[in-house]
Amino acid sequence: MPPNEVLLSRSEQELEAERFFYRHFTERGLSINLYDSAGRRQINPVLPREVSPFPNLMTMPPDAAEGVAFLAVDDTLFFLYDRIEHWSGAPGHLAFVALKVEAECLCELTRSDLPGTELSKSEYVLLSLLLSGHSLKSAAEQIGASYDTKRKQVQNVLEKFGADSQTSLLRKLSLELAASLLDQIRPAQGQSREFTKVFSQFGNDVVVSNITIGNGIEVPVWEFGARQGRPVLYFHNMLSPIVFSEDLVAALRENGLRWLVVPRHFLGRDMPFETGIRMERLTHALARTIDVLTDDPVICLGDSAGVSWAIHFARHHPQKVAHLVLSAVPTPAPPKPNSQYNTLYSEVAGMLRDNPLTLAGLARLYNALARIPLLARRGLRHMYRHSEADSATLEALFERGHIFEWLQLIANLGTHSSIDELGALQRNWRADLERLDCPVTCIQGVEDPISPVGGIEDLCARLPAVAFHPVANAGHFVLAQAFPDIALYLGQRQSLSARSFTRTIGAVM
């Protein structure tokens, strides 16, 4: 983990630009960056030893026509576009989008009728200078070569592109390049990417509704299972809105459950980036949405990082919750030094005690790792290496690949969500838990390496109204690992008290 001074080195404007960038540009398949009105690069490497392919400073040429320009910097061609207002939510300090145009990209985008066109390094540098407005003479001087040498090289380039003159070549290349690049970076229309992803994974097994009440927040709801079944409101974990279980839909239908998911990672992008405010507004909007979806109180299920959100919902909207079920419950408070329950959560809590601003840096680091499948794979394997059950679950997830797609999507579109999750875990949700009147059951994997079962058992023992059930041969992904059995318990819940519900879990297990 980088030192705190690295995590805290970002200004609020840079963080705002970063959120905007990952929401709009990361899936374009191009090398892109953003610059502010002073010409400063906004998207910088996470670690100091990394080197950005974009210069620290770059400004839009004053004579740029139609908001586009080509600029050669350090033997590299860049395409600049300053109509930043075309993207929703663009921070006011941003000035333009910059794309790095490699030699291969230049040929591919402009010579589709002449496949196989290739440029040498020196030809690419010369063409970059010419496209950015240099004359052949000034380009030769810039390179440090003779005019005659470069004139002959231009002839070679003309032949490669089938052009009659330098002027016609540059006009054609600049028009085709600009049109092609703009087509690729301009805002996309149509369905949200999270909807596209969940639909591609579940097809007709998912029903997506977007509900807006009055002037409130538009709340998307993903429904699985029995449409007329007992409603279960699922507050998902940090990795994905989806329960990674191949038996998800079949188990829900078999037990008459209507599984309701609100993908909070992607909600409230225009809200203040403060966890308490966001949680309050989103759970209020969700409570109004539940009134539209069902007349019955719901079973409220919070998993891992979703535990804090589920407890908050149950505490502030008790009439809507018949039973609260918590799985993979995080350690609720930082343990004492050298405690047997020291965990990743306690380490994060310690860092936040030292400097609350570390939260933004940690979230940025988490998002950076989530965007790269190789790093995400290594990080997850390391976190869960002490649990055989979790390791086996992860390997199965890696094989199917959905987890990487969700991690990238959340990191890119919901850059604030990791801040929310880390912040929500630090709030005093135990105080809310103590004030609940509804039945509460905690389900914990015995092998859980993130939230040790002993710490949660101690918590439940001090809260008589909270029933506790450990699950053997399960870890932090206990919900996915035992989903068919848990679905059975939830389906039986209508006629069971909290204590008998727990005994039923034990009997079935």
The mean per-residue pLDDT over the stretch 120-141 comes to 93
pLDDT digits (tens, 9 = 90+) for 39-62: 999 998 876 678 899 999 999 988
Q: Give the C-alpha separation, 383 to 475, whole Å.
A: 12
pLDDT recorded at residue 280? 87
Cβ–Cβ under 8 Å, residues 122 and 153: yes
C-alpha radius of gyration, the chain, whole number: 27
Say whether pLDDT at 254 is over 50: yes
d(CA 317, CA 63): 59
> Per-residue pLDDT tens for 228-247?
899 999 999 989 999 988 88
DSSP collapsed to 3 states, 236-287: CCCCCCCCCCCCHHHHHHHCCEEEEECCHHHCCCCCCCCHHHHHHHHHHHHH
Q: What would the two tokens of residue 413 be?
A: 């579109």
Residue 404: name the closest of 428, 372, 438 by CA.
Answer: 372
Q: Which of 16-30, 68-82, 390-404, 443-457 has the least mean pLDDT?
A: 16-30
- B/e letters for 73-112, b = 16+ CB within 10 Å, e = fewer, are eeebbbbbbbebeebeebbebbbbbbbbbebebbbebbbe
pLDDT value at position 502? 46
Task: For the chain, list the domains and their CATH numbers.
Answer: 4-185 (1.10.10.10), 193-508 (3.40.50.1820)
The pLDDT, as a whole number, for residue 339 is: 53
* 425, pLDDT greater than 90: no
pLDDT in tens, 66-84: 789 999 999 999 999 998 9
3-state secondary structure of 441: strand
328-362: per-residue pLDDT in tens? 998 755 445 455 555 666 666 666 666 666 667 77
Give the separation between CA 260 and CA 222, rounded to whole angstroms: 6
- Report for 39-53, 261-275, 437-451: range of highest mean pLDDT: 437-451
Q: How confident is the model at residue 265 (pLDDT cuts 50, 70, 90)?
A: confident
Task: Indicate if the alpha-carbon torsion angle 491, 495, 498, 502 is positive or negative.
Answer: negative
Strand order in the sheet with 68-73: 32-36, 94-101, 76-81, 68-73
Q: Grade residue 121 by pLDDT with cuts at 50, 70 and 90.
A: very high
**Burial level of 192, CB count in 10 A (0-12/13-18/19+)?**
middle
Dump pLDDT digits (tens) for 138-186. Answer: 999 999 999 999 999 999 888 888 888 999 889 888 888 888 888 888 8
Helices (H), 162-235: 166-185, 193-202
Mean pLDDT, the chain, as a whole number?
84
Are 349 and 470 contacting, i.e. CB atoms less than 8 angstroms apart?
Answer: no
**450/339 Cα distance (integer angstroms):** 14
Residues 6 or more apart in contact with residue 468 via CB below 8 angstroms: 441, 442, 444, 456, 457, 460, 461, 502
34, 97 Cβ separation under 8 angstroms:
yes
pLDDT number for residue 345: 62
Q: What is the pLDDT of residue 361?
A: 73
Question: Amino acid identity of 236?
Answer: H
Q: Which of 209-213, 230-234, 502-506 has the highest mean pLDDT?
A: 230-234
Structure tokens at 388: 């055989």
Cβ neighbour number for residue 409 with a 10 Å cutoff: 25
